Amino acid sequence: MCFLSAEVFCMDQPGNVPSPADPAARARGGRWWRWPLGLGVAAAAWTGLVGAWLPGFIKPRVEQAATEALGTPVSLDAVALQPWTLTLTVEGARVGPAHAPYLRVQQAQVQISAESLWRLAPVVRRATVRGPQLFIERQTPDRFNFSPVLDHLRAQPSEPDTGEPARFAVHNIRLEGGAVRYVDRVLNQSHQVDQITLGVPFLSNLPSFVTVDVEPVLSARVNGSPLRIEGRSQPFSATRTSTMSLAWQGVKLPQWLEAARPLLPAGWQVQMPSGELTTALTVRFEARPAPAVPSVLIEGQATVRALSVQATGLPGVGPLEAGWRELAVTGVAVRPLERQARVGQIALSGLTAAVHPQADAAPVKPVASRAQVASAPATPEAGWRWQVDALKVEAPQLAVQTQAAAAWPTLQTVKLDVRGLNAAPSSPPATWQLALNDAAGARIQAQGDLHVAAHHASARIDVAELSLPHWTAPLADVPAWRALPLQPQKGAVSLKTALKARWDGEGAVDVQADALSVADLQSRPARAARGVDDRIDWQKLALAGVVARVEGGAVQTVSIDNVALTGLDARVRRDGQGRVLGLGGPSATSKARTPPAAPAAAAPRWTVGRVQCEGCQLRFVDERVEPAARFDTSRLALTVEGLSHDLRRPLAVDLDTRAQGKGELRFKGTVRPQPLSVQAQVAVRNLEVGAVRPYLDPLLNVSLARAQAQAAGRLQLQDDPRKGLSARYQGRAGITGLRVLDRLNEADFLTWQTLALDNLDVRWAAHAPLDADLGRIRLQGFYGRVIVNPDGRLNLAHIVRQPDEEAARSLTTPAASGAASAPVPAAAASAPAAPAHRLRWQQIQLADGRVDFTDNFIQPNYSARLTQVEGTISAVSSERTEPAEVRIAGAVDDAAPLRITGKLHPLGPRLYTDIQGSAKGIELTRLTPYAARYAGYAIDKGTLSVNVHYQVDGGQLKATNQVFLDQLTFGDKVDSPDATSLPVRLAVSLLKNRQGEIDINLPISGSLDEPEFSVGGIIWRVFVNLITKAVTAPFSLLSGGGSEELGFVPFAPGSTELDATARQRLTTLAAELADRPALKLEATGQADPAADTEGLRTAHVERLMREAKARATRQPLAEVTVAESERLTWLSAAYKAADIQKPRNLVGLAKALPADEMTARLRASAPVDARALRELADRRGDAVKAFLATQLPPERVMLTASRVDGELPRGETGPATRVQFAIR
């Protein structure tokens, strides 16, 4: 050791020790006492200077310098300096205003080491602070009591940075009895940290102390909770390793919530009645040489016990109450700089939560906290690598309630166990299990795995007896749920499913449900009116093999293997406004402008392998019609296979059901929705179609009381985008048990037992002619009511109600049929002719038919019945020319037989008919109403038989109507304004033969192409003409309606001889008169001056030639005839004998003249005048009477005065050289 005095020497250096043999040394050795004395003096001076003078000297200067540096008063009660231990002690230090200092320090002591001299850096052997008290007061939101100090420091100029860190070494740092008091005047809060003890054995950055361990210790009581922090540090090692242990027990969380309240978002009201935190952490810091990254490791555990939280104003929820018995986090190891974290176990037990409804439903906007960063960094930081070895949650009760009208079911006995959560890509997936119940008895179990790094999770979920009413009742006030027509009243959901989720990018969730079922469902309208029985119930709905995929929040694919519905009971009605289950119907037109619709998201792709419905029943009631229409199905079995989003894929459909009571309906085949295609076998048996009556009643004057549909065949429908819709049906169809009633009196209008079409084949296309093979048609047990109304129209014309008819009219009673019929609208302009339909049938069979006919057009009314109608019509086709054979038989009034036979082709391009019909023995007395109205006479007796033959070919009608009246006898005359004025009795007399029979043949003809053509009209005109001929052409009637030739007998001009034609005509006339003894004949001889004058001249020449021959041959004149070959001979003889002027020659003899000139001179000499004409007419009449007298009584033929005016009766044709007849 070296000492410093008036003379400097070092005793520890060997070279400085004096030698005993040195005299000088001996002399100096005699003055050794001086050095101790010098030391004493120096020590006294050092003690006086440093220990007594220096403290007083530095105290005011330190106070002044500190005051100026901090800008606030700084005072010290005392300063003491021990010179030999180099210990500085400060007593009673205060910083801040005298009345409220910021900092009080009872004592601060620092011992400086002498090493500071050669280390050229401060080296503190010991630093002790006793009783420090720090007072912090928050006066305004951004001002504290020490804010003036901060303002002063900020105002000072900054010192230049030398770039070299300060070198120091501090040992035995100790703080005892410290306290910190924080008062918040803004939030009216205060916090107290007392009993602060801090121990830091060593802290240095000098190289010489590299191996020295420093173990800092901190203990305190924070708001009454003990806190202890221990650690150690190696500041001089290459890694500067530091370790700190934190133990904080019994931390009262409610107090810290009050301290953190300024950090909560505005509007959040959070209360924490209880909660205690206990934690034990170890923090290890290791500074590694560059370029290695420093390491910080935080290890430990934490426990929060007896937590209870009450909160309001949270976004999206109402008042919240939550808490737990204990939350324990153990095995924590966090490396924040390396972004790594590991938790051994998180165990949450005794969790309870209750979320109450919001006070209002206003949408909640996200509110940022005061501490929230305004904007996110442009480049995201690297993700944390973390793992949680175990997570356990046990909650005895969780209740989440919203603003819904009903409470959500409370979850009970919730248990969650998660193992092996790890964010490392190479780590195996975590496993988890979840089990819970709800207050309604549902059981939910789930398990699966979770791979955080791969963004993948899977789950197996088992749900049993989940009550639909309990879980859907809270949705009663949700608009979307409230809009549903039916709400579940009963039902339980069971589910077994597997989920796979991926949340990278858009995110994806794969769902695979082995079984999903809803059992014992009962649903009813939410606000059903009284008497409304709408429902959809079922015993069980089961889905199997459900696979779904969700990406980007939207369903992408759904696949279901099987959907099975058992015991469905659906009852649906449409009310008077057209609403079905409260949906649809008239809607008010909104005046607000409709915003443009958002682009529709891509539709999901879905498939359903099979849909089955067993033991189902459906009922639909339509109250929009009066009475309400009802449609029922029961015992319904339906199977549909191949359903998918692709409407182009065909579906296999199998339907078997009871319908409308005992009806049966079967449909089996394939259906393609788009474009529509149906290939199916259809079977209908006893299907009651009377349910459509309410839809037909407003349109018809008849009512469908009963009818059953029958069908069995193959149905094909095809919708071609280019050709349009087409349909085909092959098989059997029919209607049985038909009964159509009069709307007013419920009388039968049309009935039949069976209408069946067998071997039916009908093809229809939108733009093609109908192709129909009606097969074998059988109509059995039919009845029809045909009535001629007082307006002359058939009741069949009034089946369809006219638009102006306010009420239904009767079709079976005359009283209701008397109204004038609606005018028939004019025909529209003819459209271009459509292609001809291809129609055919194989046979029509009629059996046991009846038709009632009533004619109310006449008074009194006429009625007749056509009964026992049966027969057949053979095959016919519009594509073949062969007509059908018709054979129909029946009876009029069960007595007069009726037969219709022949050939008929109604399906060709032009109607072809060759039909014969006959009826025998129809009583004429039944026709008295017609005779009284039109003839003016009643009928006392008689029968009618008819034979008709109708032929239609090429649009031309040719028909013969052979009418046979037997013993027709008129009775008394009847005054009728419609009766004819023609001589009806005379007509009958003309037509009757001597047996009292009238046999008339009425031929008719016409063109069916004429717009006003009517067979009935033609027949009526024929009968009117028949009566008219009684006056105008009686001989036409006499000859059977053939011609008028019997009305006269023609003669050759100038002749009175009856030729063969005249004789035959007179013979026929005589025979007809002989058959009608009540008739008399008038004969009038006629001569025509124009024709008979020349005729008399010709006859005069002929008579002269016959007389010449008679003289020469001596034959009787009546027997003489002149042949053509001898006419010149006898003409010359007649000329020679005639006493007329003749040309002569020179000798006076008559010249020989040509035949023509001789004939002309003889004709000129004939005596022709009025007398000769009258005599000619008389002789003609005599000749006729003489002939008829040989066959009729002479008194039945009367001659009238002859006529020589040459005029014919009006309407007559033929020669005027005749004898004209008239009937009397």
Per-residue pLDDT band at 655 (split at 50, 70, 90)? very high
The secondary structure of 913-970, three-state, reads EEEEEEEEEEEHHHHHHHHHHHHCEEEEEEEEEEEEEEEEECCEEEEEEEEEEEEEEE
How far is the CA of 970 from the CAs of 863, 940, 1031, in angstroms?
20, 6, 19
Please check whether residues 93 and 5 belong to one and the same domain: yes
Residue-level pLDDT at 115: 76
pLDDT tens by residue, 243-253 = 777 788 888 88
* Residue range 553-567: mean pLDDT, rounded: 88
Straight-line distance from the first to the last Cα atom of the chain, in angstroms, rounded to the nearest whole number: 196
Condensed to tens digits (0 to 9), the pLDDT of residues 876-887 reads: 888 888 888 889
What does the pLDDT look like over 419-460, one tens digit per residue? 988 888 888 888 989 998 888 888 888 898 888 877 788 888
How much helix, strand and coil, in percent to the nearest 5, is found in the chain?
20, 50, 35
Other beta carbons within 10 angstroms of residue 1072's beta carbon come to 19
Hey, is 1161 helix, strand or coil?
helix
Q: Is the bond leading into 860 cis (omega within 30 degrees of zero)?
A: yes
Q: Is 1178 exposed, middle or buried (0-12, 13-18, 19+ CB in 10 A)?
A: middle
Strands (E) in 723-837, as ranges, are 724-742, 748-765, 768-773, 776-780, 783-788
* pLDDT for res 639: 94
pLDDT in tens, 662-698: 999 999 999 999 989 999 999 999 999 888 888 888 8
Same domain flag for 114 and 195: yes
Average pLDDT, rounded, for the chain? 79
Q: What is the pLDDT of residue 826?
A: 44
pLDDT of residue 212: 45
Range scoring the smallest mean pLDDT among 26-40, 269-283, 1082-1096: 26-40
Determine the pLDDT at residue 828.
44
Taking residue 351's Cβ as centre, other Cβ atoms within 10 Å add up to 20
Question: pLDDT category, 13, cuts 50, 70, 90?
Answer: very low
From 1167, 1190, 1218, give the residue that closes a domain.
1167
535 inside domain = no
CB-facing half-sphere around the CA of 329: CA atoms within 13 A: 18
- Could you report the per-residue pLDDT of 731-762, keeping only the tens digit for each? 999 999 999 888 777 788 889 999 999 999 99
| pLDDT of 4 strictly over 50 | no
- Tell me, yes or no, whether 46 and 143 share the same domain: yes
**Residue at 830 is within a domain:** no
807 — pLDDT class (breaks 50, 70, 90): low
What integer is the mean pLDDT of 954-979? 80
User: What pLDDT does 378 receive?
Assistant: 45
Examine the pLDDT at 1044 and tell me if it is beyond 70.
Answer: no
> Cα separation of 755 and 64, whole Å?
128
> pLDDT grade, residue 960 (50/70/90)?
confident
Across 922-950, average pLDDT? 80
Same domain, 12 and 98: yes
Give the amino acid at 1080: K
1006 and 1105 inside one domain? no
Segment 176-201 shows an average pLDDT of: 85
Residue, of 765 and 925, whose pLDDT is higher: 765
**14 vs 2: CA distance, rounded Å:** 12
Q: Is residue 1156 part of a domain?
A: yes
Among 1117, 1151, 1167, which residue terminates a domain?
1167
Let me know whether 1011 and 934 are in one domain: yes
CA distance 1056 to 1179: 6
Given this model, what pLDDT does residue 816 score?
A: 44
Long-range Cβ contacts of 1177-1180 (<8 Å, 24+ apart): 1177/1085, 1177/1086, 1177/1087, 1177/1202, 1177/1203, 1177/1204, 1178/1085, 1178/1202, 1179/1056, 1179/1085, 1180/1051, 1180/1056, 1180/1085, 1180/1086, 1180/1087, 1180/1217, 1180/1218, 1180/1219
Q: What is the mean pLDDT of residues 162-176?
A: 76
Q: Which residues pair with 685 in a beta bridge?
A: 664
Domain count, the chain: 3
Q: Which of 973, 979, 916 is nearest to 947 (CA)?
A: 916
Task: Confirm if 931 and 939 have CB atoms less than 8 A apart.
Answer: yes
Least confident of 68-77, 577-586, 589-598, 717-726: 589-598
Whole-number pLDDT of residue 245: 79
Token pair 């794969």 in the structure block, residue: 510
Local confidence band at 10 (pLDDT 50, 70, 90 cut-offs): very low
Q: Treating both helix axes as pointing N-terminal to C-terminal, what angle do 147-155 and 54-70 enclose, rounded to 10 degrees?
A: 90
Query: Exposed/middle/buried for 742, CB within 10 Å: 0-12, 13-18, 19+?
Result: buried
Question: If you average pLDDT over residues 395-412, what whole number do you get?
Answer: 74
The whole-number pLDDT of residue 411 equals 84
- Token readout for 578 is 């057209």
1011 and 1124 inside one domain: no
CB 247 within 8 A of CB 229: yes
Contact (Cβ atoms closer than 8 angstroms) between residue 32 and residue 9:
no
Taking only the tens place, the pLDDT of each residue in 477-505 is 777 777 777 878 888 888 888 878 777 66
Q: What is each CA distance from 1144 to 1147, 1149, 1151, 1152, in whole angstroms?
A: 8, 5, 5, 9
Q: Which of 31-45, 96-110, 810-824 has the highest mean pLDDT?
A: 96-110
pLDDT digits (tens, 9 = 90+) for 846-900: 999 888 877 676 666 667 788 888 999 888 888 888 888 889 888 888 878 888 8
Residue 210's pLDDT band (boundaries 50, 70, 90)?
A: very low
* Contact assessment for residue 966 and residue 922, using Cβ atoms and an 8 Å cutoff: no
For 331: left if phi > 0, alpha if psi spans -120 to 50, otherwise beta; the answer is left
Q: Is the pLDDT of residue 14 over 50?
A: no
Q: Is residue 120 part of a domain?
A: yes
* Domain contains 410: no
| Alpha-carbon span 1126 to 1132, nearest angstrom | 10
pLDDT band, very low/low/confident/very high, at 9 (cuts 50, 70, 90): very low
Q: What is the pLDDT of residue 669?
A: 94
Is there a single domain that holds both residue 925 and residue 1019? yes
- The last residue of one of the domains, among 208, 238, 273, is 208
1108 — pLDDT class (breaks 50, 70, 90) = confident
Phi first, then psi, for residue 474 (nearest 5°) are -65, -15
Same-domain check for residues 112 and 191: yes
- pLDDT at res. 363: 46
Predicted confidence band of residue 591 (pLDDT cuts 50, 70, 90): very low
Residue 605 lies in a domain: no
Q: To the nearest whole percent, how much of the chain has pLDDT over 70?
A: 82
- The residue ranges of DSSP E strands in 577-628, in sequence order, are 579-580, 583-584, 605-622
**597 CB-side CA count, 13 A:** 3
pLDDT at res. 727: 94
Alpha-carbon distance of 1129 to 969, in angstroms, equals 66
User: Could you tell me which residue, 272 or 1144, shows the higher pLDDT?
Assistant: 272
Q: What is the rounded CA–CA span in Å between residue 210 and residue 241?
A: 11
- Does residue 81 sit within a domain? yes
Ranges 22-36, 59-73, 405-419, 457-471: which has the least confidence: 22-36
Residue 227: Cβ-neighbour burial (10 angstroms; 0-12, 13-18, 19+): buried
Tell me the DSSP string of 6-44.
SS-EETT-GGGSPPTT-HHHHHHHTTTTHHHHHHHHHHH
Domain extent, residue 1132, equals 1098-1167
**pLDDT in the model for residue 63:** 87
Which stretches of 53-114 are DSSP H helices? Answer: 54-70
> Which of 444, 438, 376 minimizes the C-alpha distance to 407?
438
Query: What is the phi/psi pair of residue 1202, to 5°?
Result: -70, 160
What is the torsion angle, in degrees rounded to the nearest 10, for the CA atoms of residue 341, residue 342, residue 348 and residue 352? 20
Is 441 inside any structural domain? Answer: no
Among 454, 435, 452, residue whose Cα is nearest residue 444? 435
Residue 780: CB atoms within 10 A of its CB come to 16
Angle formed at CA 397 by CA 396 and CA 400, multiple of 5 degrees? 155
Helices (H), 617-775: 693-696
460-to-442, 497, 499, 509, 575 alpha-carbon distances in Å:
17, 6, 6, 13, 46
How large a percentage of the chain has pLDDT more than 90? 13
